Structure 1
């Protein structure tokens, strides 16, 4: 019965949403605070505190027109790479882009920009729950999925994905590529450490030009995983 009510609510909300363009500003925050008392190295502690302070004020922008969207962090004046370094704490340095059949995550960490193709089944099947909360005036539903990732010891780890989406805004988009849900994701976490949450939403009647990422080499996920493994092996061999 609850599932039927949820589906009915989603269907009616999608019909009600008519504006084709949205711009969302997100911020990132740590879910579990860092215990700085346990970090004995004062230099590391100071650097980490500085990055966390920058991250708290760092904006991430998503623009979407119907099924086309673009997401990345706002670099601003970043002469020393401090914004990028802070964004990396939350895994927020990648660009996400979708248009028609083109759907990729762009990573520029290995000396060149790599466009990793995003498959629809990259998450385990989304489980939409009946848990709800209000974000910026919109009713959002909690969805959970899992995704595999290669970690530093070259093993594969399952990441828990949590997304809060609103069917009141019919955009298949969200921060860090959290999409393929029946509505715009206003809050989401890909690692249970940091979550991205919507700070501001602007809807407009006419679509504006969506930014296109700079050109890069296109790879499948399997090809990119091999690049990651090779790089980790090289780092380990250098001690």
Structure 2
């Protein structure tokens, strides 16, 4: 049950209570479970419940995932804990092209690095760590044995899915490129400029615990006075299921360094262009047959 308590006093108390874990060799692991509800849209309305359950079972690898965050005082490495599909006994090769790769954050040097594989080709995305304008709340709740506090922020939708792709998004991009040729060039320029300025934002809700005073979190979330144990954005929730502090076997935290060096924006353009090419080639084959 969520309650309202004096935020600053409690956070400081828990922070100082946890200073004993801030040794130089401190390391920890947090295990996260991600779940996204299946959305079949209007297509799903015409399906029976049995058909929906069958599709959900086949898409389980994409809808439910587990991740491991290995962290110390300054760095973290976040990666998927891959599991075999219970039905086919294989990994989801198609879905792997559009899932986040191994992600490294260094909050001291403000470094972000993530490797991505797209149809067998390796890419390395390196940028400065994106700042998040968190709004601190006073609401609290328990996640396991940890007292957590709520924080929210807004960020561009593209920041939360730049490694992903959807056919609907491709159709929207193609539609935006079509400009009414009867309009004047000045009118067209104004319309394009206004379109570029519109950035779709999405609200992020996070729950962090000062009991683990590390400014890290799952995916590219960071910047709160405690480890982030839960993140909800859109219809996806990341929830921490287990924390191991100072494990006997330490893991080396290193930034990925292999692949073609690109930015997030460049990577998004590459995969979108490739999928457009695949659609065009498929259309040409259909026309010839």
Secondary structure of 1:80's counterpart equals coil
Alpha-carbon distance change, 199 to 223 in structure 1, aligned in 2, over 3 angstroms: same
Report how far residue 84 of structure 1 moved: 7.9
Structure 1 residue 10 corresponds to structure 2 residue 11: yes
Structure (1 or 2) with the greater helix fraction: 2
Q: CA contact under 8 A between 2:31 and 2:242: conserved in structure 1?
A: yes
Q: Secondary structure at the match of 1:113?
A: strand
- Structure 1 unmatched runs, 5+: none
In the alignment, which of 107, 111, 114 is matched to residue 105 of structure 1? 114
> What is the SS of the residue equivalent to 1:176?
coil
CA distance in 2, matches of 1:197, 1:139: 14
Query: What is the alpha-carbon distance in structure 2 between the residues aligned to residue 84 and residue 72 of structure 1?
Result: 18
Distance 1:49 1:34, change over 3 A: farther
The offset of 1:211, in angstroms, is 4.5
Q: Highest Rg: 1 or 2?
A: 2
Q: CA deviation at 1:129?
A: 1.6
Aligned length: 229
Alignment partner, residue 195 of structure 2:
none
Superposed displacement of residue 98, structure 1: 2.0
Task: Give 3-state SS (helix, strand or coil) of 1:131's partner.
Answer: strand
Report the counterpart of residue 147 of structure 2 in structure 1. Answer: 139
Please give the per-residue CA displacement for 1:74-128, whole angstroms capped at 9, x wherever unaligned: 114566323884x88xx754321124533223322354232323534454x1112
Please name the residue that 1:218 is paired with: 261
Residues 39, 26 of structure 1: alpha-carbon distance in 2 compared, 3 angstrom cutoff: farther
Distance 1:117 1:12 in 2: 37
Mark the runs of 5 or more structure 2 residues left unpaired by the alignment: 177-198, 284-289
In the TM superposition, residue 53 of structure 1 has moved relative to its aligned partner by 7.0
Q: 1:107 to 1:161 in 2, by over 3 A?
A: farther
1:76/1:136 CA distance change after superposition, 3 Å: same
TM-score, reference length from structure 1: 0.76
C-alpha offsets along residues 109-159 of structure 1, whole Å, 9 cap, x if unaligned? 354232323534454x11122221111121111222222216712386423
**How far apart, in 2, do the equivalents of 1:14 and 1:48 lie?**
42
Match of residue 245 from structure 2: 203
Q: Is the 8 A contact 1:55 1:83 kept in 2?
A: no
- Of the three residues 21, 29, 47, the one matched with 2:27 is 21
Q: Does 1:80 align with 2:85?
A: no
Distance 1:229 1:52, change over 3 A: closer
Q: Which residue of 2 aligns with 1:167?
A: 210
Tell me, yes or no, if structure 1 residue 192 matches structure 2 residue 229: no
Q: CA deviation at 1:68?
A: 1.2
1:69 counterpart = 2:76: yes
Go from structure 1 to structure 2 and tell me whether the alpha carbon gap of 1:44 and 1:107 turns closer, same or farther (over 3 Å shift).
farther
